[in-house]
Structure 1
Amino acid sequence: MFYAMTIIIEIECVAGMAITLNCELNQLKPFPILTKNILDLEQDKWDLIVLGDMFYDEDLADSLHRWLKDCFWTHKTRVLIGDPGRPQFRGHSIQHQLHKVVEYSLPEPTRQENNGLTTSTVWDFQP
């Protein structure tokens, strides 16, 4: 029998609390949340990694890219990346290893809050 375990990794404690509150407001059992950076730790075996809007800083993007490649090649982990098309992400070398899954239009208030970004895309990472 297969049991899926879900864990949320969010290094900002306040964001972790917001995730828990969001789960409760939507009548979901809150997921376990780990509030530390795991990029320098020994990797666990993940079947799926879903991450969003993480390529806003070049050093973080480079570390994350290396870590995701290691997860993919070591454990055959599937990686889905959501990003609204920030310049740092569009200009990163990871672009050559992505395949578009779906693109969503952002609601008008979100567009205004995000300096004119109009869509967000989910990418399948395939190094």
Structure 2
Amino acid sequence: MSVTVRKCLRVTSMLGSSFYRYHHNLKLNCSAIQRANLQLLNCASSCHDNHIHLPPLSARRMSSSGRRTCHHGNQSQNGLVSNDEDVIKRFIVDNTEVDRSHLTPEIALRLMTPACPLWDAPAQQSSDILQHHGIDDPFWAFYWPGGQALTSRYILDYPSVVSGKDVLDVGSGCGASAIAASMSGARSVLANDIDRVSIQTIKLNAELNDVTVATTSRNLVGQSNNQWDVVLLGDMFYDKDFTDTVTDWLKHLADVGTTVLIGDPGRIFLQDHPVKRRLVNIFKVDLSEKCRQENNGMTQGFVWKLCESER
């Protein structure tokens, strides 16, 4: 790998991918280190003797409200955003490859791999490419472990969970959970992500797997007009404020009878949150060696069901 990040395995184990994803921006956005949480930087500095080569995964950048950064309209902080879906799709195709080397080989996904041009590109070059296209960190190009757990052997092996039901996949990213739900017989599937590039990725991946998935980039968190039987969230808890906001909404959904399923590999903001008292573990899967290497400190993925009331 072209970037060496100084960090400690113990710190990574405790803080998980929150620390990890901040610092992967060193590869895809050389200014990301300036946005990282100061406490995490101090932890890393105290472990300066540990040099670990990390793959250039991206971070899910958060706004001050805790939601992932998303720029709408014609202009973003990084430059002009094309409104042409074909232009965005071409960028995705040119910078990803079809991959099945994950926990759900039944699903083909366009992902960023070591064979892709941005993976080992110099930091400035990759930053310039993303800025030229007006694209934020491409979290949509990776299949995060919480999503793999939720999508993988759970939905695909237990299709009755979604079969014949209306399903919402929040923070859909590459669209894997939505695609799995469609493959498993869901009556309707809506993939929701506030990043418009993610929306085009979902469309490409749905077409690749010959399934029908509706998409929306509207922020649905907090929407009280519940029209879904099942709500899926895969690997979303990277910020305390956002965790507070989304879990308040999820608790409301569960209390009115919606099945809420959460895929998570042990993110600290979920594990330490009061909502944990309402979560029941219904599935566990060992992550692949490849996934472990890309997510230091993570060895298993869990699926949690949110109960209607505290136990």
Q: With structure 2 as the length reference, what TM-score do the two structures score?
A: 0.38
Q: Percent identity?
A: 36
Report Cα offsets for 1:20-72 as digits up to 9, x if no partner: 2111112223x111112112444332211111111111111111111011112
What does residue 59 of structure 1 align with?
A: 241
Matches within 5 A, 1:1-127: 4-29=187-212, 31-73=213-255, 75-126=256-307, 127=309
Q: Is the 8 A contact 2:222 2:246 kept in 1?
A: no
3-state SS in 1 of match to 2:188: coil
Q: Which amino acid aligns with 2:302?
A: T
CA separation of 1:81 and 1:71: change in aligned 2, threshold 3 A: same
Q: With structure 1 as the length reference, what TM-score do the two structures score?
A: 0.87
3-state SS in 1 of match to 2:237: coil
Gaps of 5+ in 2: 1-163, 166-186
Q: Distance in 2 between matches of 1:60 and 1:118?
A: 24
Q: How many residues align?
A: 124
Q: Distance in 1 between matches of 2:291 and 2:204?
A: 21
Q: Tell me: higher relative CO, structure 1 or 2? Use CA pairs within 8 A at least 6 residues apart.
A: 1
Instruction: Judge which range, 5-14 or 94-103, deviates more.
Output: 5-14
Q: Is the 8 A contact 2:235 2:265 kept in 1?
A: yes
Q: Is the 8 A contact 1:9 1:36 kept in 2?
A: yes
Q: Is the 8 A contact 1:98 1:125 kept in 2?
A: yes
Instruction: Judge which range, 6-15 or 56-65, deviates more.
Output: 6-15
Q: Is the 8 A contact 1:7 1:34 kept in 2?
A: yes
Q: Is the 8 A contact 2:234 2:262 kept in 1?
A: yes
Q: Is the 8 A contact 1:45 1:71 kept in 2?
A: no
